[in-house]
């Protein structure tokens, strides 16, 4: 069993690609849709973005269970370095806990306006994503590559990113966080879809 994935799979090329644990030593990955060079993400329009330079400061809730604790701590440190305010709702160790409790706390921070976005981490990300999407108004996206994160923001206005600590290498997970924090929502027809989802949530609560 791999603790962290030793490869990055793009949507157009699934050949294995190794990455170094050190961001500064990672070999560049190129394909026709995505470009990664060191710590920069270049989106499909070719614009390089980096969270500390492109995105206004935000309040972000972070949460994990024991399986995601190590990655959550790295994500928290990175967000602070980028100038964001981080609200860590736990867990605070690798002792076994339920992802349900901590995922709920983070989502409540978004729904009550305390935080603008949330980043949730567990072993695979599946449990946290199930919990998060039980909350009205939360649009949580479980993502394993940068294209998924970009589309989650641009088309779905995702306000929660879910990561699997046992699926993603830490340096690549940090790249996904940067994409999540910098990509805008396209609106337009995509807002119409979100309105439909909101209507479904209202009907389910009646």
pLDDT digits (tens, 9 = 90+) for 22-67: 433 333 333 333 333 333 444 444 444 455 455 569 999 999 999 9
Query: Residue 199 maps to which CATH number?
Result: 3.40.1400.10
Domain membership of residue 75 (yes or no) is yes
CA distances from 180 to 18, 94, 148, 157 (A): 23, 26, 10, 10
Domain membership of residue 55 (yes or no) is yes
Report the run of H or E that residue 109 belongs to, with start and end.
helix 99-111
Active site residue 82: no
pLDDT digits over 111-169, tens only?
999 999 999 999 999 999 999 999 999 999 999 999 999 999 999 999 999 999 999 99
CA distances from 72 to 1, 80, 101, 143 (A): 21, 12, 15, 15
Active site residue 4: no
Domain membership of residue 42 (yes or no) is no
Distance of alpha carbon 121 from alpha carbon 58, whole angstroms: 19
Query: In the 8-state DSSP scheme, what is residue 42?
Result: E
What is the reported pTM?
0.77
Domain membership of residue 27 (yes or no) is no
Query: In the 8-state DSSP scheme, what is residue 143?
Result: -
Active-site position among 107, 122, 135, 143: 122
What is the per-residue pLDDT for 22? 41
- Owning domain of residue 116: 51-205
Check whether 103 has a pLDDT greater than 60. Answer: yes
Active-site position among 39, 42, 155, 190: 155
Domain membership of residue 85 (yes or no) is yes
Number of structural domains, the chain? 1
């Amino acid at each position: 069993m791999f603790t962290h994935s030793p490869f990055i799979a793009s949507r157009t090329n699934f050949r294995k690609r190794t990455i170094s644990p050190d961001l500064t030593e990672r070999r560049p990955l190129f394909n026709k849709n995505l470009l990664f060079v060191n710590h920069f993400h270049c989106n499909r329009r070719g614009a390089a973005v980096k969270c500390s330079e492109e995105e206004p400061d935000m309040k972000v809730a972070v949460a994990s269970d024991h399986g995601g604790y190590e990655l959550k701590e790295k994500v928290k440190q990175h967000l602070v370095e980028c100038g964001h305010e981080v609200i860590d709702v736990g867990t605070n160790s690798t002792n076994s806990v339920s992802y349900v409790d901590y995922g709920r706390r983070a989502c409540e921070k978004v729904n009550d306006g305390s935080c603008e976005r949330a980043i949730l981490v567990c072993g695979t990300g599946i449990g946290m994503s199930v919990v998060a999407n039980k909350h009205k108004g939360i649009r949580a996206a479980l993502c394993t590559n940068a294209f998924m994160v970009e589309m989650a923001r641009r088309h779905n206005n995702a306000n929660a990113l879910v990561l699997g600590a046992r699926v993603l290498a830490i340096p690549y997970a940090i790249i996904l966080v940067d994409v999540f924090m910098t990509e805008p929502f396209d609106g337009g027809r995509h807002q119409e879809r979100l309105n439909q989802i909101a209507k479904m949530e209202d009907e389910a609560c009646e």
